[in-house]
Amino acid sequence: MEYIGIQAQKRRNDFRSMLLLFMFPCLVLGMVYIFFLLLAWLGFIEETETEGHFWLSVNSVYLNSVPYVLGVVFVWFTIAYFLNTYIIKVSTGATTLERKKNKRVYNLVENLCMSQGMKIPKINIINDESLNAFASGINERTYTVTLSKGIIDRLKDEELEAVIAHELSHIRNHDVHLLIVSIVFVGVFSMVAQLAFSTISSLSGGSSKKKNDNSDGAVILVLFLAIIVALIGLLLATLMRFAISRKREYLADAGAAEMTKNPLALASALSKIAKDPNIEAVTREDVAQLFIQHPGNKAEGFIGNLGGIFATHPPIEKRIRILEQF
């Protein structure tokens, strides 16, 4: 596979990041409007007595909600965007890799970075004997390469160097920045759907005390509508993420081959990774997409089952075949 120029790839990913940032509030506002349409159709919104009352009622409620929706979106995005490094670290169980005990890894990272004129990223380790790795961060201060204990212990130097080069290519191509934006983008719809689903479960499976069945039924219906709308938004957001996820792995493979001049080393490493990529600590589908190979069968939970339909990684066998043709 021909490797796209680094500057062209950076510009492409930066443009996609800005496009996602623009589309995020637009999609949220669109889903909110659909939600109010459904509420009005079911009679939950009081209609005005003027001509075209249905649409006037919907538009009035919607326009009044826009400032609040945008405020929540802004707060959510700001918190998730700037705390992503901490969130990913907690979600994967990663800790800082100590230089004194891992000079081999630091030497490989530093040599590759110096050869490319890159600033050396932070290096973390996941205490898991399986083989996997990923890159993360939104700028030079937060860029991080995370390796599992298994991948450090079980790969030869040239294989580990190739894996590190693959992750450095993600950083160099600005893939990690794009993926963080897409993770935050998808996360808001996932959160809404999960909250609504959990609330419905607690209401419908709650106590057998005397209760206002009509009131609970109305709440459940509204929450059910919220789930439908959130899942539509999640589906659209996931499809956008799916469209940008698979090619980046091929490009990072090509970047690693260019960086190390040894494509067969990465092919060999991928072959070993494919046999044991599962990282037990990783249960979130959005975090799983960061890894060099999907670190499990699928994420746990309601949304994980849905998200598992959309593979974010190309077949590893195909990646190996392409590397063997370099």
| Residue partners of 129: CB distance under 8 A and separation at least 6 | 148, 149, 150, 153, 276
| Residue partners of 314: CB distance under 8 A and separation at least 6 | 246, 249, 250
Task: Please state the rounded mean pLDDT for residues 85-100.
Answer: 91
Higher pLDDT pick, 59 / 76:
59
d(CA 131, CA 152): 8
> Does the structure show a pLDDT above 50 at 306?
no
Mean pLDDT of the chain: 80
For 279: left if phi > 0, alpha if psi spans -120 to 50, otherwise beta; the answer is: beta
Q: In the chain, what percentage of residues exceed pLDDT 90? A: 34
> Does the structure show a pLDDT above 60 at 305?
no
84-93, 107-116, 220-229, 301-310, range with greatest mean pLDDT: 107-116
d(CA 132, CA 285): 15
> Does the structure show a pLDDT above 60 at 210?
no
- The closest of 77, 39, 84 to 60, measured between CA atoms, is 39
Q: Which residues face 113 on adjacent strands?
A: none
- pLDDT one-digit tens code per residue, 158-207: 999 999 999 999 999 888 877 777 777 777 777 666 666 676 666 665 54
Is the separation of the CB atoms in 323 and 266 below 8 Å? yes
Is the separation of the CB atoms in 180 and 82 below 8 Å? no
**What DSSP string runs through 109-129?**
HHHHHHHHTPPPPEEEEE--S
Q: Which residues face 136 on adjacent strands?
A: 144
pLDDT band at 304 (very low <50, low <70, confident <90, very high): very low
- The pTM assigned to this predicted structure is 0.75
Is the separation of the CB atoms in 160 and 107 below 8 Å? no
Helix runs in the chain, H state only:
6-41, 53-82, 84-92, 103-116, 149-154, 157-172, 175-204, 213-260, 263-275, 285-288, 301-307, 316-324
Enumerate the domain spans of the chain: 6-20+73-88+175-324
Residue that has been written with the tokens 């209760």 in this structure: 211
Task: Please state the rounded mean pLDDT for residues 62-74.
Answer: 86
Active-site residues, by number, are 167
Is the separation of the CB atoms in 150 and 130 below 8 Å? yes
- pLDDT one-digit tens code per residue, 266-291: 999 999 999 999 999 988 777 888 89
